[in-house]
Amino acid sequence: MLIGAGLKRSEHKKAEILAAARDIFLKEGYADAGMEAVARAAGVSTATLYAYFPSKAELFRTVVVDSVRTMAEPVRESARTVGDARARLTALSRAYAEFFATPATRAMFRMVTAERRRFEGVADHFLGAARESLGGAAIQVVKELNASGELKVDKPSWAAGQLMGMLDHATLVLGLSAGDEVQPDRPVNQIAEDAVETFLARYGTG
């Protein structure tokens, strides 16, 4: 019982450290982020911080890997929406557009891209995991709707890519070019609904 409680406290403390580190890395960048600042933000001593993460590089790697796992969860969850083609595609598209309209998401993509030369393997993992989580959710929905006859698609991966492409430009690309906080002129829900309308006009059977 005591061992279990100790493990839970340890995991909770680790989560607090990762949350603090992510905020500081996104705000300051890798080079300017200090381990002492992370320790203060997490409410631990530097000795405790180094006990969990022996170096800043290891902390950065863990932050990036953990972030892509947690940040994309709403998009993966949207793939389990029940309903007809329009309902399912709209739920997916809204979650996807909201994901890329979120300042923290854009900041993470920008930071990982900026640090690619220093952490090539981390960047490859992040982008690959993001592609698998986001693209995988879209492909899953398109395949299931194709199998049920609600869509007529020859290559689900291509069709899913077209849907995501309509959402990327107004959300992620806008943020990366104009600033993490900049939001589209149209509401995100409207962007998603318009993309679904165009997609169904091309691939829908109803």
Residues 62-86 as b/e (b if ≥16 CB within 10 A, e otherwise) read bbbebbbeebbeebbebbeeeeebb
Report, as an integer, the average pLDDT of 2-12.
65
Q: Taking the CA atoms of the chain, what radius of gyration do you get in angstroms?
A: 20
Give CA–CA dist 191/194, Å, rounded: 5
Give CA–CA dist 17/36, Å, rounded: 12
Give CA–CA dist 167/183, Å, rounded: 13
Give CA–CA dist 125/65, Å, rounded: 8
Give CA–CA dist 55/21, Å, rounded: 12
- State both tokens at 97: 């557009």
Q: Residue 49 half-sphere exposure, CB side, CA atoms within 13 Å? A: 25
- State both tokens at 31: 């080079």
Q: What is the per-residue pLDDT across 62-103, written as a single tens digit (0 to 9) for each?
A: 999 888 878 889 999 999 999 999 999 999 999 999 999 999
pLDDT at position 163 is 97
Q: What is the per-residue pLDDT across 29-72, written as a single tens digit (0 to 9) for each?
A: 999 999 999 999 999 999 999 999 999 999 999 999 888 878 88
- State both tokens at 137: 């959710």
Residues 150 and 76 sit within 8 Å (Cβ to Cβ):
no
pLDDT at position 4 is 54
Q: What is the per-residue pLDDT across 97-149, written as a single tens digit (0 to 9) for each?
A: 999 999 988 999 899 999 999 999 989 988 888 888 899 999 999 999 999 99
Give CA–CA dist 143/145, Å, rounded: 6
pTM value? Answer: 0.83
Give CA–CA dist 184/144, Å, rounded: 30
pLDDT at position 6 is 53
Residues 127 and 49 sit within 8 Å (Cβ to Cβ):
no
- State both tokens at 109: 């993509």
Using pLDDT thresholds of 50, 70 and 90, give the confidence band for residue 1.
very low
